[in-house]
């Protein structure tokens, strides 16, 4: 199953975090859902991917060097899409849902600004302090959406952050979780 929620549906759902991040873009944001259910009725795992098609940093504009490679800020969503293809091709017997959060973080007169307060899909209000901290906003709506769709386990993947790369280098990944069994299984 596949469904792409666009601007009007995202507003109706209350996905204000992804919509806020995307306010500066002339392209519509999208929350794309793909479901693979070889075992109907069994638990479902959600793979949530950050898909920033370009991240200029919003009003906290990145330097020219900092913007190099920001077209790759969509790699979290791309990897989750690849994971879905792998699971289906290999006929893995797990119920999995991919939630791809697609947006741009650019500037125009409508872009989200420092001090704006938004209400996320989770019902939490967030005051924007740094417009270049958009990843946590899009993922907040994506993770909440996945939970509401019945996912017991949620795995998110994002190109976060330069700090992790600075601490660990290019050959190690930062992995955080609160469910050791889920981490072992995946």
Distance CA 142, CA 46 (A): 10
The rounded Cα 19 to chain-centroid distance in angstroms is: 12
Pair 43, 152: CB distance under 8 Å: yes
User: Does the active-site annotation cover 93?
Assistant: no
Give the DSSP letter string of 66-111: HHTTGGGTTHHHHHHHHHHHHHHHTT--SEEEEEEEEEEE--STTS
Distance CA 61, CA 95 (A): 40
User: Does the active-site annotation cover 71?
Assistant: no
Q: Which residue is catalytic, options 71, 136, 148, 180?
A: 136
Tokens at 80, concatenated? 């989750």
Q: Which residue is catalytic, options 62, 94, 113, 152?
A: 62
Show the 3-state SS of 104-165.
EECCCCCCCCCCCEEECCCCCEEECCCCCCHHHHHHHHHHHHHHHCCEEEEEEECCCCHHHH
Catalytic sites, residue numbers? 62, 136
């Amino acid at each position: 199953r596949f469904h792409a929620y666009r601007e009007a549906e995202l507003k109706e759902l209350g996905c204000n975090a992804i919509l806020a991040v995307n306010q500066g873009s002339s392209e519509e944001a999208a929350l794309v859902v793909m479901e693979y259910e070889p075992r109907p009725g069994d638990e479902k795992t959600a793979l949530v991917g950050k898909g920033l098609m370009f991240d200029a940093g919003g009003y906290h504009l990145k330097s020219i060097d900092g913007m190099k490679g920001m077209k790759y800020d969509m790699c979290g969503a791309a990897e989750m899409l690849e994971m879905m293809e792998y699971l289906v091709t290999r006929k893995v017997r797990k119920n999995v849902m991919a939630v791809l959060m697609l947006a741009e973080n650019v500037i125009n007169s409508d872009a989200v600004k420092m001090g704006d307060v938004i209400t996320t899909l989770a019902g939490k209000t967030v005051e924007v302090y740094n417009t270049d901290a958009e990843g946590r906003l899009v993922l907040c709506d994506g993770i909440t959406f996945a939970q509401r769709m019945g996912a017991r386990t949620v795995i998110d993947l994002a190109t976060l952050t330069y700090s992790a790369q600075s601490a660990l280098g290019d050959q190690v990944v930062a992995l955080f979780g609160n469910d050791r069994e889920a981490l072992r299984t995946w």
